[in-house]
Copies of this chain bind each other. A is one copy, B any other.
Amino acid sequence: MTRSPIVPVAPGRGRSRLRPLGLDEVRITGGFWGRRQQVNAEATLHHCRDWMERVGWIGNFRTAVHGRIDRDRRGREFADSDVYKLLEAMAWETGRRADSALDAAIAELTDAIAPAQEPDGYLNTAYGRPGQPPRYSDLEWGHELYCYGHLIQAGVAQSRARGEGELTKTARRAADHVCATFGTDGIERVCGHPEIETALVELARLTGEQRYLDQAALFVARRGHGTLADIEFGRAYYQDDLPVREAKVLRGHAVRALYLAAGAVDVAMETGDEELLAAVVRQWETTVARRTYLTGGMGSHHRDESFGEDFVLPPDRAYSETCAGVASVMLCWRLLLATGEPRFADLAERTLFNVIAASPSEDGRAFFYTNTLHRRGRGTESRTDTDSPRADSGLRAPWFAVSCCPTNVARTLAQLSGYLATADEHGLQLHQYADAEIATTLDDGRVIGLRVRTDYPAGGAVTVRVTRSPDHGPWTLALRVPAWTAGATAWLTDPDGVRRPAASGSVEVTRAFRAGDQVRLELPLAPRWIRADPRIDAVRGTLAVQRGPLVYCAESTDLPGGRDVDAVRVDPRAQPRERLDRGRGGYRPATVLVAGELTGTDDRNEQRDASWPYEPHSHPPRRTTAADRTEIVLVPYHSWGNRGPSTMRVWLPTADPDSTTPTGRQSCTNLEESTDRTAV
């Protein structure tokens, strides 16, 4: 039997290793992500719409029809796309739960957009009308096809969530126009910003129309042949330097690289192109090993929002754009579907908890555009009455001049339950853990129901109760055991109460389940010190703390006496420990305590601060104020910056930053001695 699950990615039958379960099959019922989805629905969607009315991006469509768009258009050349992304978010939200007000909002926005579409399907408020640059006159920076991509994804979302509507039709007209204009007989170029590729494949999946897939495959194949100009950042910026099949690593603008890779995987799945899939897997592997922050964040260059060279991952210059996190999750999910390998779900989990979840404020009305791992200066509160011109403020901002991230977070949270589980011919696979209800029908017609109870990642226990199981024959329940458990032990308890260790990867229970059967996975959440590959020079001599999938950080808000985080030195001889936090909901993971000291090398040490910061290693250490032994509070990285201006760091220097001393032997001073020494 065929299904139309409410999912962002629906590979054709037999085209992927796993079949995704949809928003109609998996419902998040509470906990960390439940809270996030609630805030997204109740606050963020309205917030984004209000802002886009205010800054005129929605009005652009009306102006294009009724006014002087060449004179009155507002926002950047890609502003249309954020309206589409909001529509996509709203559409998934209506697939998650019936909401007639949202249905009406979608219809109203569509009514603004659709009349701006030209008879031949062209739709963009920045090009093509009198007084504007001609259509496709600036493929490098114009973003026209990128905007279509988001329009098409919104149209697909509407169709899957609520059935084909005007938004879907508008998207199809645009897609038809793209095929007519950029087909084999058309403009033989690509868009500076990939995105259309994955969208066209999804439209092909939705409609069964081969030509959308062909066009996507054509865009992927064309890329890397230098049809775009050699700009200041080089053609690698928009991945036009090397064909996708030949590249060894993701490079250039991170969001562009990841969207393109996602589209290439989609094409590879639908065409059975194992070589193309293998090329992207290879690029992903190298990117993950060499160009990814501990948070899962990608992109270290502010200048061109790009991946840096291998191991250039300075925490204080992390760009780690929120949208790159969204794009990375999109790529991971497609690779997971294509291959079934849990490593892709591992990175998705890390990125969801430490990039996607870090972007919005607790009230869902302000966002990080970039996600630095070290904030040195206390930021200032963003103005709430104007958009933020800069992407690297120390505090979340309500809106940005380039505001791709808020709507990208919104659409990801709205579709999130679609990333939790899959099915195959053997049974069900759980990839991400959240309090949830799951019900699906296997390919052979057997109906399965599950109730997942967990307060993960606050707690590490995941209980899966079978609520419905076929009367005959065994099936397999597979649970991902995250790679971060390596070195500790995860335990699985089967329905008979037998408890056994579960290694990283996947653990399976196969049997003729009966309703009421329980499987329990206990993930070892004790916080742990994490070290980095020594080639990541910028974090040498430091350690980070991770607890389960969550990366932790020190925030000045938690330090005594108004100290900055640069005063923190940690003592890794003692294991980090959880603090018992009282009065916090299940969606707020525990804080962590680590042993350490606060050095005197902070802003108040004026004498030192007026001098040249380099000195002969043979000199005795400079005089600093006495260090205070203390326990240092760490909070989940995703939660930082919610309590006013602060400084923050993920990678914490160990108490003795130099492993060598000027006396000609390795340092053997213990912490007490070194504390004394600093007071000399």
Contact = CB atoms under 8 A, between A and B. Distances in A.
Interface residues of A, number: 82
A393 to B, nearest CB: 10
Contacts of A231: 389
B537 A315 contact: yes
A657 to B, nearest CB: 5
Interface stretch (A139-147, A442-450, A611-619, A630-638): A611-619
Interface centre among A230, A539, A617, A667 (most CB of B within 10 A): A617
Contacts of A601: 533-535
A612 B528 contact: no
Nearest to A620: B487
A658 B537 contact: no
A95 B566 CA distance: 51
Contacts of A303: 301-303
Contacts of A538: 314, 316, 537-538
A530 B617 contact: yes
Given A390-B232, A540-B541, A531 B315 contact: no
A90 B665 CA distance: 55
A503 interface: no
A487 B616 contact: yes
Interface stretch (A20-28, A286-294, A329-337, A471-479): A286-294
Contact of A619 (B487, B566, B669): B487
A653 B301 contact: no
A158 interface: no
A366 B389 CA distance: 37
A653 B573 contact: no
Interface string A646-680: 00000101101111100011111110000000000
B532 A542 contact: no
A180 interface: no
Nearest to A376: B309
A665 B670 contact: yes
A610 interface: yes
Contact of A667 (B377, B609, B666): B666
A67 to B, nearest CB: 26
Interface in A274-315: 285-286, 288-290, 292, 294, 300-303, 308-312, 314-315
A195 B508 CA distance: 70
Interface in A388-411: 389-390, 401
A621 to B, nearest CB: 9
A483 interface: yes
Contacts of A612: 288-289, 292, 483
A536 interface: yes
B534 A657 contact: yes
A290 B487 CA distance: 40
Given A285-B610, A666-B669, A616 B529 contact: yes
Contacts of A91: none
Contact of A541 (B294, B535, B541, B609): B541
A533 B614 contact: yes
B657 A666 contact: no
A317 interface: yes
A616 B314 contact: no
A421 interface: no
A37 B666 CA distance: 46
B286 A609 contact: yes
A619 B537 CA distance: 20
Nearest to A316: B312
Contact of A542 (B486, B537, B656, B668): B537
B234 A389 contact: yes
A310 B309 CA distance: 24
Contacts of A301: 302-303
A310 B528 CA distance: 30
Interface in A592-618: 601, 608-618
A530 B614 contact: yes
A617 B541 contact: no
Nearest to A665: B573
A543 B660 CA distance: 10
Contact of A532 (B285, B374, B614): B614
A572 interface: yes
A532 B613 CA distance: 6
Interface string A520-553: 0000000011111111111111111000000000
Nearest to A651: B537
Contacts of A487: 615-616, 618-619
Contacts of A532: 613-614
B540 A540 contact: yes
Contacts of A666: 656, 667-670
A543 B658 CA distance: 10
Given A601-B534, A611-B289, A614-B531, A541 B317 contact: no
A462 B20 CA distance: 78
Contacts of A617: 528-531, 543, 572
Given A376-B312, A617-B531, A541 B665 contact: no
A308 to B, nearest CB: 8
A668 B536 CA distance: 24
A618 to B, nearest CB: 6
B316 A530 contact: no
Q: Which 6 A-B pairs have the closest CB atoms?
A: A533-B613, A529-B617, A541-B541, A540-B541, A659-B659, A302-B303
Interface of A: 230-234, 285-286, 288-290, 292, 294, 300-303, 308-312, 314-317, 374, 376-377, 389-390, 401, 483, 486-487, 528-544, 566, 572-573, 601, 608-619, 651, 653-654, 656-660, 664-670
29 contacts: A286-B610, A289-B609, A289-B611, A290-B609, A290-B613, A294-B614, A300-B317, A301-B302, A308-B317, A309-B376, A310-B376, A314-B317, A374-B537, A487-B615, A528-B617, A530-B616, A531-B616, A533-B613, A534-B601, A534-B657, A538-B538, A540-B653, A544-B614, A572-B617, A654-B660, A656-B666, A659-B667, A666-B670, A668-B668
